[in-house]
Structure 1
Amino acid sequence: MQKKVIRKHSQARIDEMVNTIRGEILANLQAVGTYLPSESDLEKRFRLGNNSVRKGLEQLVQEGIIRKIPRVGNIVVGQPSGEQPTVRLGVYNTTDREMELTGLLEQFQKRHPNIRVQTVMIPTNEYAGYIKQHMADGTLDAAIINHHTFRQFSSRQKADLLEPLQPLEQTSGYYPFTTGPFADQGKLLVQPLIFSPLVVGYNRSHLKDRGLSEPEGDWTWNELMELAGKAAIENERFGFCFHLLSRNRWPVFLLQSGIDFTPDREGFYRLPDEVLTECLGVCRELVEQPNVFPTMLSGLDSAAVEWFKDGKVSMIMTTYFSLNQLKHSEMDYDVAPLPYVREKGNLLSVIGAIVSRKSKSKEAAKRLVEFLGSYEAQVVIRSKTLSIPAHREAAEWDGETDVRHPVHFRIFDHMMPTYRLLEHMSLTSKQLSAIQKEFELFLTGLQDGVTMSRRMEQVLQDMNSNQAIE
């Protein structure tokens, strides 16, 4: 009877085997020209099955440290000579904080000492354009990318610039809502790494000091505004704020309206002004309460989190990504589900990694991206940040962490049925930007809800007509 070795996380032991053998070769404990122990001996030594041992050996073959001789064994050839491949990885200025990237790259370097990774900080205001240009020029090998930026790639650009990573059917270990948006023709174009819904962060001490109950379960925006009004103290702190005009903030009120932004059979847009006014009116009502909402902070999410951290505001609408600004803070805070107006919709943000199809270090770049999406790396993200790993098992990992998580950190599980992406409303990025201008006029009181609705209809109609002409 053949002995079968089964382990839950064999990848960690494969890595251990690879790192050990590589170290022994580099230290000359396994001399060049000699053969490694047999596969059966390696199985016993590292408590691995035959397939796992072969997978580890194949990695060493690809690194050029050993060479497989059929029907003979694996001969040691030593540290590969030649130029060291360099992977230029484009990142956001917040990537290290959100993913513990520095630590992950150190682990990757230990596993792949022959691969050098160079991070390139990309300006946030030109992220998509920078990636397109430098991938087309072959000067960027991989990049961290969010779903919004991915949407800005045309179908042709996705096909020309992005290297397919793996069949979608092989991504069952990840949450489907993190892989589905990044798939094209059954292939994954972006390796999902982390995700976040919108949540409400609240200062527990502020509520306790005012004799107020903490939010529990589902609640409405009216209930939030009532709580914010009671938590606010004039000339001391505000009740609630968020990055008002962010692409991942104000559209949630459109989403919660339940309106389908698609033209009718005649090609006309017909928006129910009462519903639209009710939902977008929540934002307007918030900013019209000067002791509750600090409008001067509406332009920067980081500023809102800083004020929250400093006790200048009692509640914020934010993401798990932004909460990483608090991962070493001692403040007593927690998170609550996002309130709703008419429907319980929540805008989802997903961040992943791409590989350039034109990269000269494509295999090294793919190996890096594969590592960042591995269970090992995803658990590091779970234990050292407040971001949520895209790998389901890593997200559900319940070991000791290096940062203090809020008590209700796991409410993201409860909210999963409400997760939606911007395309759920059938609006392109350009369409959303165009109707935002009408929303801003409504927000300032320069036009009423009916006018806003008619203007949005006209803007969408004009864009649809221009697209047809082009």
Structure 2
Amino acid sequence: MEKRTTRSSSRTRLSELVNTLREDILTGKRPVGEYLPSEKTFAADYNLSNQSVRKGLDVLVAEGLIEKIPRVGTKVVGAPEGAFVTVKLGFHSSVTDEADIHRLLSSFQKENPHIRVQAVPTSSNNYSYISEYLSSGLLDVVMMNFKDFQECVETGEEGMLEPTERNPELYSFLSDAFVADGRQLVQPFIYSPLILCYNREHFHEANLPEPDSSWQWKDLITYSSKLAIPNERLGFHCDLYSPNRWPLLLLQTGGKFERHEDGRLKLAGTAMMDALRYCGEMKHSIPSLSEGITTGESELLLAKGKASIIMTSYFYLNYLLGERLSFDIAPVPHFGTPMTMLLNTGLAVNRKSQVKDAAVKLVEYLTSYKAQLFVRQNTYSLPARKSAAEWVGEEKRYLPSRFSLFRETIPGFRYFTDLAISASELSDINQELKMFWAGLETEEVLCSHIEERLTVSSV
């Protein structure tokens, strides 16, 4: 056997040893009754210490695959009929379509017959659920978006996540978002900037130019009013007041939330209050904007010809798969400097997982070129692996002509943290803004509630 180099970490080499032996036993390559090479041989072949090899073999002993016979050696016992390792994966239910996750898991299990994946739906809107699942050991791998990760770090719970090696094949700006204290705690899986999506036929019928990167918000208001048909079609539709939407306008101002000397947020008389006021004014300019709309509602209206333009993400474009619709995409409007909000979803391993090797293997598979290319070819979501996201070849479904615009807009990607607020503050502000935008609170009351309610937190 060829000796492993020292370029990979000892943990990676040990994982390789354990996984290889497990696969060989479960597939019959190492038959029942065979004696394994000595610990010293494995140590030399994998560039590991004898102690590390011993720990790795203990994992297989615990799984009932081998037994150690004193003064004789290590014997292959073979797995009991139907024996396998179960990895519990917590995933956002929306990713069922956004990444065709169940087909991916089926492919993984075919390649790893000794591992079964139990998919557990979790909330993508409430980090507390993820925290409870991790701390109680109910999940081995969990899907986390950027906001989830920020809340994990803010609450000091990042210790629940197993540090992993940075994958240089994944976009660096995605990996950077999941680092704490110099450790890579989450591996990016899929991502998307906010974009516009529009019905091309509506523009052609109205003899209007299609959206492009020069569009400002005033242009959106102008053109959407020309496209709208009373009692028949909306010019523009989106859930602007979602926490994954409204921060966009604030980010585009280029400003940050200000604070009082004691750390409390300051809102009255600031540029941020001006931006929030503009959001409210947009609601009056585009009456179809609403709060808390059903997931996929904008895309459904577009598909049925009841909306001409929507603000969405590559994730939600998957609601249009299979629809008979000539649609295309464009950058979101801006105030003069192109900028958009970035949505980033990754995978983390529970540090206390009892099947950590299998959990790591699942994450490695889902971020592999094979799995990431599957996402690119079968969905509209953007895979985190650069070579897969930028793959060019024969498409299996309708692809908007400007699908690759994400490559040119990368310099304008921003997270809500660029506003100098924490994830918990984002949630609190969002609740107050709904009251304000609904006309149930005055600007003075809004500023008072936010400034009195929110105290400083690390961002």
TM-score normalised by length of structure 1: 0.77
Match of 2:38 in 1: none
Mapped partners of 2:295, 2:362: distance in 1: 30
Assess, with a 3 A threshold, how the Cα gap between structure 1 residues 235 and 458 changes in structure 2: closer, same or farther: closer
Instruction: Tell me, in whole angstroms, the C-alpha distance in 2 between the residues paired with 1:462 and 1:104.
Output: 44
2:328 paired with 1:334: yes
Contact 1:244 1:299 in 2 (8 A): no
**C-alpha distance 340-156 of structure 1, shift in aligned 2 (>3 A):** closer
Q: What CA deviation, in whole Å up to 9, does each residue of 1:267-316 have, x standing for no partner?
A: 57555747445533443333224xx5424575234111111111111111
Aligned length: 413
Residues 179-212 of structure 1, C-alpha deviations (whole Å, 9 max, x = no match): 1111122221111000001000011011111111
**Alignment correspondent of 2:163:** 164
What is the CA distance between 1:256 and its match in structure 2? 1.3
- What is the RMSD computed on CA atoms of the aligned residues? 3.6
Distance 2:207 2:237 in 1: 21
1:227 corresponding residue in structure 2: 223
* Candidates 146, 169, 183, aligned match of 2:179: 183
- Conserved 8 A contact 2:268-2:447: no
Matched with 2:425 is: 431
Does 2:124 align with 1:133? no
1:137 offset after TM fit, Å? Answer: 1.5
Partner of 2:313: 319
Post-superposition offset of 1:157: 4.7
Q: Which blocks of at least 5 consecutive residues in structure 2 are unaligned? A: 1-18, 36-44, 47-52, 67-73
Cα distance in 2 for partners of 1:341, 1:243 equals 19
2:242 is paired with a residue whose SS is coil
Partner Cα distance (1:265, 1:297) in 2: 34
Contact 2:239 2:245 in 1 (8 A): yes
User: Are 1:118 and 2:114 matched, yes or no?
Assistant: no
SS of the counterpart of 1:226? Answer: helix
CA contact (8 A) 1:204 1:332 kept: yes
Deviation of 1:154 after TM superposition, in Å, equals 3.9
2:91/2:142 contact within 8 Å kept: yes
Pairwise CA distance, 1:407: 0.9
Structure 2 counterpart SS, 1:340: coil
Tell whether the 8 Å contact from 1:87 to 1:118 is kept in structure 2 after alignment: yes
CA shift in 2, pair 1:204/1:282, >3 Å: farther
Under a length normalisation based on structure 2, what TM-score does the superposition of the two structures give?
Answer: 0.79
- Which whole-Å deviations, capped at 9, do the CAs of 1:306-331 have from their partners, x for residues lacking one? 11111111111111101111122220
Query: Which of 196, 202, 205 is residue 201 of structure 2 equivalent to?
Result: 205
Deviation string 1:211-265 (CA, Å, 9 cap, x unpaired) is 1110122310000111100010111100111113211101111111222214265
* Partner of residue 351, structure 1: 345
Whole-angstrom distance in 1 between the partners of 2:433 and 2:404: 33
Aligned residue number for residue 214 of structure 1: 210
Q: Residue 105 in 1 paired to residue 96 in 2?
A: no
- Superposition deviation, residue 32 in structure 1: 6.7
Give secondary structure in 1 for the equivalent of 2:311.
strand
SS in 1 for 2:117: strand
- Judge which range, 341-350 or 321-330, deviates more: 341-350
Would you say 1:460 and 2:433 are equivalent positions?
no
- Which piece of structure 1 moves more, 406-415 or 252-261? 252-261
CA contact (8 A) 1:25 1:76 kept: no
Query: Does the 8 Å CA contact 2:191/2:384 hold for their aligned counterparts?
Result: yes
In the alignment, structure 1 residue 299 sits paired with structure 2 residue 298: no
Q: In structure 1, what is the equivalent of residue 249 of structure 2? A: 253
Q: Secondary structure at 2:305's aligned position in 1? A: coil
Following TM superposition, by how much is the alpha carbon of 1:381 offset from its aligned partner in structure 2, in angstroms?
0.6
- After TM superposition, the structure 1 stretch with the greater mean CA deviation from structure 2, 306-315 or 146-155, is 146-155
Contact residue 238 and residue 289 of structure 2 kept, 8 A = no
Shift of 1:79: 5.7
SS at match of 1:288: helix
Deviation by residue 1:426-448 (Cα, 9 ceiling, x = unmatched): 11123223333553454345666
1:146 aligns with 2:145: yes
How many percent of aligned residue pairs carry the same amino acid? 32
Aligned to 1:286: 282
Work out the CA distance in 1 between the residues paired with 2:254 and 2:424: 20
